[in-house]
Structure 1
């Protein structure tokens, strides 16, 4: 008893030898090392037994303190992981999917969201399983959406290469709007070409008519500019 009393009395002056006296674990704020260091030997042993730690009878207070801190920190981390395995961890390739937000959702909300993704038979699943399923479904949906957008962009790029006049105005003849010509109807294109003296357009399709009119209009604009 006197040994325990003496240890408590010099605890504050021996912080270098016993760094746990006033040091709370930074990653586990629920575990207060300073509070554990103030506990009595009997309390330390009893607390350790609740953590499943045996054979503490021969251990002195400093050893009991260290063992209990270790056990408490381990238990806190395990508890936190079980409750929220995805807390604060967002998928790097799908930033739109917030795992932490999903993990914070209620069970009913998780099931409703999963139904929206076409996932059925969730009634028997517990929250951790629902969280994993929803994260998987959201990630898959996000990747699919991204892939669709890329495919759409690639198609637009291909369309532009096939029809280079769409949205592309001739730089040297700003008076000739290729995009406007490309938007014209077939009859209008033929009529416009006839106005430029171009015949034999009856068998031509729209892309050919567009190219011919652009060529004629560009030539006319350049000729007009050279005269000025």
Structure 2
């Protein structure tokens, strides 16, 4: 992440912390040295991190490996990520998984037995995450981030987590011009969305072959098919950006 490079470069430039001789070293050489030594820089050196665990969260966001379960555990421990050092993409990813964590806790509250102590633990975690979402959305605005491209994206990511995606919904979203953006999806969610998108394309191809010769209806089906195919390309590019396996 950029903030790591900047801090590492500052340390190299001063010659402190890592005992690196920098006298006479050009700025380009200093930054090259900084990039090589990022893994060696103590976490405490990143002064803008509010807590050590934030770096791990940003790393998981970059790798597309955030999970609602981890969010809930951090909420219970009072260690929800601060977010001020994250970039826009990381914020979008963290907010998306936070929303899923809130929904999980809501569902848990509605189904759990009447144990006041346990219900309070779940309720407190839910409230903490909801407050966190508002805080991170405020950071998105201050950083001029776009946030979720559309409200329906969060629902798609949640269905992906629950393995409840279906190609019929994909086709309807394609017709409505509301295919998921994918920016806030984890690697696992992207993989599942792409898989069901491919099923939707095959269904539309079969439908085109079997349907009567109605140019207007055929155009609707063909347009949906093309939109989903373009979506698959876009989401595969998202996987590359997130360095998904």
Could you tell me the TM-score, scaled by structure 1's length? Answer: 0.28
Looking at secondary structure, tell me which structure has more helix per residue: 2
Rg: which structure is higher? 1
Could you tell me the TM-score, scaled by structure 2's length? Answer: 0.27
